[in-house]
Amino acid sequence: MKCPKCQSDNPVGIQFCGKCGTKLAKICSQCGFDNPPGFDFCGKCGQILAEPKAAPAQDYSQPLSYTPKHLIEKILAARTTIEGGQNEVF
């Protein structure tokens, strides 16, 4: 658990920061209840206490990693139309 005062990382189950001695508690952002370390949900209102995880960064150099499968299939099915036919001479 990260200390709110000194930002030091502390192991799970510790009640006071090992660096600065600050009480480690999870304060609910919804109701302000002082939850003990280890709680994932507020003991008073049920609000989730875990910090949201950051979304993984998109690698835009790899379109297959983020393009939905149904869209890939649609693009491949229409490939000849998109490319302008099969090298037809007018």
Structure token digits, residue 2: 């990260």
Q: Is the pTM of this model over 0.85?
A: no
Any idea which residue has 């693009």 for tokens?
A: 75
**Could you give the CA distance from residue 76 to residue 60 in angstroms, rounded to a whole number?**
19
Contacts of 73 by beta carbon, 8 Å cutoff, 6+ apart: none
pLDDT on residue 38:
76
pLDDT on residue 90:
46
pLDDT tens sequence across 33-56? 988 877 889 999 999 987 656 667
